[in-house]
Amino acid sequence: MAIQFVKGCCPLDCQDTCAWVARVEHGRVTRVEGAKDHPFTRGTLCAKVNDYQTRTYAPDRLLHPLRRIGPKGAGTFEQITWDEALNTIAARFQQVIATHGAEALLYQNYLGSMGIVQRRALMRLFHLLGSSRQSGSICGASGNVVEAEGHPRGFDPEEIAHSRFVVIWGANLLTTSHHHWYFVEQARRRNGAKLICIDPRRTRTAEQCDEHLPIRPGTDAILAASIAHTVLTEGLADVEFATAAVGDLEEYRREVATWPAERAAERCGISAAEIRALATRLATVHPAVIRSGIAPQQTASGDAFVRGLSALVILTGQWRHRGGGLFLEANPILNELRAARPDLIPGNPRRLDMGRLGATLTDAALDPPVKALMIWGHNPAVVLPDASRVREGLAREDLFTVVIEHFMTDTARYADVVLPSTTQLEHFDIVGAWGHHYVSVNHAAIAPLGEAKSHGEVMRLLAKKMRIDHPALQESDEEIARSALPEGVDYEDLAERGWVKTSPARPSFASPVSLSSGELADSPAPNGKLRLLTPKSHYFLNSSFANMPRHRKSMVRPTLEMHSSDAASRSLTDGDKVIVGNERGSLEVWLRVSDAIRPGVASLPGKWWTEPHETNALANRLTPSEYTPGGQPAYNDTFVEVSRSPSGP
């Protein structure tokens, strides 16, 4: 059989959403390479997915339906047929609806796949049934809230190549979205752009910048306010632009007046001179961009932080210039919600915040209680805050849980029925992006292994078992995916080319926005405790790949990074095995002593699973159930004590 090259794309929760080409030999994918003709991917893939075929062919891949035969969480299952699995699910769902009402059903899905079909198709079934609706987000919710207020949160990232000053704020591009770094580098080479990185850690990205400001985490909103104060008091603001764009400029001026550079410097851990210099450069160099990440949003002041960044690029008039403005996220024109068919929803069923799943499942007063749960594209037992409460809820014997997965994740171990999902190499899909303006098509490179099925097929089969004959639940995967395409996009051209760019208009201010956030405050560490950060790692993508041998080997082992002064005060040395804990729990990891992280902070990269036991480092056991006003979980407001482990070397 001749070698085939099949166009596809990465489905994972990453801003780069790369186009790839799968090499198929004798019916088997032997290699996955970045698409050379794609303007954003440019022929390279990241360290996470450059051997994606090993995920598809992994020996521990789930390939058949399973039924639980042991305690929830133990991971003890027996193989059953698809017919048995679907009959069981249909009967339990119908029983729950008859006894408790449709709102006793709940789905949980997230960005394990950003594909239209894999993410949205099953929502059609739950919408039609009138189940409780998932709401909120666990990543970037502050940006969503501020955007809903009228603030732009991004533009075409390829424009960054035109920038003359780039502030990378709380983003480690070379680990989390390295294709974005290409355009930052273009700005440096073409325009002599200066690069400043604001981050409590000296990351791969910080190492490559001209200047690194090691901010005290949790004080980002204060720093933004202080920069704004300097711009306003030094007469550096673009008053004409700001007056037209902002409805409460004078109120905001009074608000930030409480944060002169000297006071902010004391709180933020950087010098007043550095704050003034940053403000001056941001106000006088055009175009300039603030390229921010998700991490600074994940504190109690996350909403105020995003609003503060928006204020800075408005006050300095950066939106006037190509390559100037704020970049948090960017999306192509693509109507993903249309594929989910919210028009099928009867009445107005309740909304339940996905970030509060633990509280939802353990709330004795919730009426009706959640009695049946389906999870796909999501590993809540690992990635949600207060993971112990999440697991307590998942362990309820009266909760019927279905998980659709590739592997026996921590979450799948709590399921009553596990269904095997196809990987990206085995199904058709269309994928949008949250970091650029390209829509990509994914063609199946091989037939599904074992009995794995796409989520569209699961929807169709389950609807049939439940005797629901609505046309929306009978559409093919291609029909579901194509329903999200905007007018003017030729599907046949997309299918052949592999991608299409559908750019929204550059941001503008149709009506004035509000900058005021009220009183700003940080959350200082209690005496003797360190603020725990859990940044994305170079080889895991959130909790994906934590079970893959190559990725785990590259990560070596769960490792806590700590400043030398903090280690010395605790009589700890590099390589020690340590206990990291607080009132919510504890975990054992290994210590790396480094001056690449500021004092008072500890960092544990990667979302490790609790299985296998030797890499059990579930950091979200330690996180609080605290949120910004807009609903962003405050993962980075976690404070811990660190001590030597009695079992360590």
Q: For residue 289, which phi and psi values (nearest 5 degrees)?
A: -130, 140
- Give the Cα separation of 403 and 112 in Å (integer): 13
Tokens of 232: 């306003």
For residues 129-138, one letter each, b for 16 or more C-beta atoms within 10 angstroms of the residue's C-beta and e for the rest, the string is: bbbbbbebbb
Q: Other C-beta atoms within 10 Å of 267: how many?
A: 19
pLDDT at 298 over 90: yes
Over residues 405-434, mean pLDDT: 98
Helices (H) and strands (E) in the chain, counts: 22, 25
Residue owning tokens 């609903």: 631
33 vs 522 pLDDT, higher one: 33
Q: Other C-beta atoms within 10 Å of 544: how many?
A: 25
- The 10s digit of each residue's pLDDT in 546-591 is 999 999 999 999 999 999 999 999 999 999 999 999 999 999 999 9
Could you tell me whether strands 530-533 and 638-644 are parallel, antiparallel, or unpaired per DSSP bridges?
antiparallel
Could you tell me whether strands 499-501 and 438-442 are parallel, antiparallel, or unpaired per DSSP bridges?
antiparallel
How high is the pLDDT of residue 309? 98
Poorest-confidence range of 142-151, 283-292, 511-520? Answer: 511-520
Over residues 311-338, mean pLDDT: 97
Residue owning tokens 């006793």: 104
pTM across the whole model? 0.96
Q: Other C-beta atoms within 10 Å of 550: how many?
A: 13
Peptide bond preceding 486: is omega within 30 degrees of 0, i.e. cis? Answer: no
Tokens of 577: 């095995």
- The 10s digit of each residue's pLDDT in 146-187 is 999 999 999 999 999 999 999 999 999 999 999 999 999 999
Could you tell me whether strands 530-533 and 499-501 are parallel, antiparallel, or unpaired per DSSP bridges?
unpaired
Q: Check if the beta carbon of residue 634 is closer than 8 Å to that of residue 563.
A: no
Could you tell me whether strands 288-292 and 28-34 are parallel, antiparallel, or unpaired per DSSP bridges?
unpaired
Q: For residue 486, what are the CA distances in angstroms to 28, 111, 117, 305, 609?
A: 34, 21, 16, 33, 39
pLDDT at 1 over 80: no
Q: Check if the beta carbon of residue 42 is closer than 8 Å to that of residue 477.
A: no
Which amino acid is residue 648, in one-letter code?
G
- The 10s digit of each residue's pLDDT in 234-254 is 999 999 999 999 999 999 999
Peptide bond preceding 287: is omega within 30 degrees of 0, i.e. cis? Answer: yes
How high is the pLDDT of residue 614? 81
Over residues 322-346, mean pLDDT: 97
Over residues 441-448, mean pLDDT: 98
pLDDT at 527 over 90: no
pLDDT at 648 over 80: no
For a pLDDT cut of 90, what percent of the chain falls above it? 96
What length is written for the chain?
A: 649
Q: Other C-beta atoms within 10 Å of 69: how many?
A: 9
pLDDT at 504 over 80: yes
